[in-house]
Amino acid sequence: MKWLACGTEFIVADVIRWREPIWKPQPRSSKKKPTMIGQRAVTGQVLKIDRNGWAHIQVAACTVEQSPRSWHPVHPLKIGETIRRRRSKIGQGKVDRLPWSDETARAAIVGSRFLKS
């Protein structure tokens, strides 16, 4: 499969993949600097993008790489689970998307004045 780089320019119905850090859980009152305990590679389909900048994504695949100096357990996301991420934060993880079978249809949707994103 050939993936296309898209940054934050993904729309509803796109299948995207990105990498995100996994941080060690800390109490809210903690003044310590957060510690990264691994990375997660997530692939999913965009279900909805709300007006506040949140993307609702259904997970299709997830792999985890644990940091070698961390002993905390790191778990992948469940397939079929719906997650919510900030569009801008996903864009920091080098987002790729699968091409549509008809890219002209996608271009028409992106160019439409009725696109809500």
Mind listing the pLDDT tens digit for each residue in 64-104? 999 888 888 889 999 999 999 999 889 887 899 999 888 88
> Which residues are registered as beta bridge partners of 19?
41
**1-22 average pLDDT score:** 91
pLDDT computed for residue 114 by the predictor: 59
DSSP output for 5-65: E-TT---TT-EEEEEEEEEPP--TT--SPP-EEEEEEEEEEEEEE-TTSEEEEEEEEEEEE
Cβ–Cβ under 8 Å, residues 66 and 39: no
- Written as six digits, the tokens of 82 are 């719906």
Set out the domains of the chain in order of their start, with CATH numbers. 4-23+35-99 (2.30.30)
Per-residue pLDDT averaged across 56-63, rounded? 97
Q: Model confidence over 18-53: pLDDT tens digits?
A: 999 999 888 888 888 888 899 999 999 999 999 998
